[in-house]
Amino acid sequence: MIISGKELSAKLKAEMAHQVAAFPQKYGRVPHLVVILVGDDPASVSYVTGKAKASEVVGIRNTTIRKPADIPEAELLDLIRQLNEDDTVDGILVQLPLPEHIREAKVIETISEAKDVDGFHPLNVAALWQKQPCVLPCTPKGIIKMLKAAGVEIKGKRAVVIGRSNIVGLPVAKLLLDENATVTIAHSKTVDLPSVTRQAEILVVAIGKPGFVTADMVSEGAAVIDVGVNRNPATGKLCGDVDFAAVEPKASVITPVPGGVGPMTICCLMENTIECFLNRQENRLV
C-alpha cells in the first residue's frame, strides 16, 4: 500500500480550514504565519511557495518576506525580534538553509519559542525530549500521522531510523520511542547497515542520497517511510532515498517521493501555526 501524503494532507487541511473559518467570529482574526526567505535558492523558493499555497487553502494569513542573500545577520535577527514583538504574528519561520555568513543556530534561537512553528528552538527541542508540551517539528510529526493513518501499529515494533539530524532523524526517533517502538538510530558510521535495517518493522530513511535503500536492506512486510528529497542524477526528477520500484513489492506500506512526507510536513506546519495561535489566544503555555 502506498501512503499518499498528498491525499492525507488534503483531508487534514480541509478539516483545518473548517476549524479556522470559525476563528474570526471567536477571536476576531485568523492565524498569521510569517515566512522569511533569504536569497533565491530555487528549492527554497518552491518550499516557501508551497507554504503560502497551503496557508491559502487552510485560510491562514501568510506573509512572505524576501531578503537578499547578502543581508547582514544582525539585520535578519532584528527583523525576527520585531516579529516576536508583533501581536498580529503567531508563527515565524525562516526558510533553511541560510547563506554561510548567517549562523542558523543564532537565527533559530532568536525566534520566540511561542512562535516557533518549525519546532526547532532549543527550548522546544528540550521540551520534546523531556516529554513536556511543545511545538513538535513538522516532518517527524507528519511521519507519525502517516503511519497511524495507514493503520501501522507502532507500539512494540522494531523501528530503525537512518539519519540523526536535529530536524529529522533524532526527533523522528524520539516520537517513535514515545509511541513505544523500540528504536535504533543508524548513521554514516553504522557498521553493516543492511543487517540493521533488515531488523526493522518500521524503517524511516532520512539521508539525502537518491535510491540509497535497496530491496536487500528491507525485510518483507516492513513499513517504509522515505524522507529524502533528491534529484535523480539520470533523469533530474525528484526522488527519495529509497529505490521505490525495488522496495515497494516487499513493503507493507511505503511513502512515495514526491507526494509522501513532503506534503505532510507542510500540513503539520499549518497545524503548528494554528496551535501557536490558539496558545496565544487562550494564554496557554507552549
Q: Burial of 266 by CB count in 10 Å (0-12 exposed, 13-18 middle, 19+ buried)? A: buried
Count, residues near ligand NAP per rule CB under 6 A? 25
- Kindly list the distances between the CA atom of residue 38 and the CA atoms of 66, 75, 144, 146, 262, in Å, as whole numbers in the listed order: 6, 12, 30, 31, 21
Specify whether 243 is catalytic.
no
Specify whether 237 is catalytic.
no
Three-state DSSP at 243 gives coil
Specify whether 95 is catalytic.
yes
Site string for ligand NAP, 175-214 (x = CB under 6 A): -----------xxxxx--x------------xxxx-----
> Which 254-273 residues touch ligand NAP, going by CB under 6 A?
261-262, 265
Q: Select the residue interacting with ligand NAP from 59, 119, 140, 169 (CB under 6 A).
A: 169
Q: Which one is catalytic: 13, 90, 116, 118?
A: 118
Q: How far apart are CA 255 and CA 80, in angstroms?
A: 35
Measured from the CB atom, is 227 or 242 closer to ligand NAP? 227
Measured from the CB atom, is 30 or 185 closer to ligand NAP? 185
- Kindly list the distances between the CA atom of residue 146 and the CA atoms of 3, 18, 82, 162, 264, in Å, as whole numbers in the listed order: 7, 21, 36, 18, 8
Three-state DSSP at 92 gives strand
Measured from the CB atom, is 79 or 263 closer to ligand NAP? 263
C-alpha 39, offset from chain centre:
21
- Rule CB under 6 A: which residues touch ligand NAP? 139, 162-165, 167-169, 186-190, 193, 206-209, 227-230, 261-262, 265
Just list the catalytic residues. Answer: 51, 95, 118
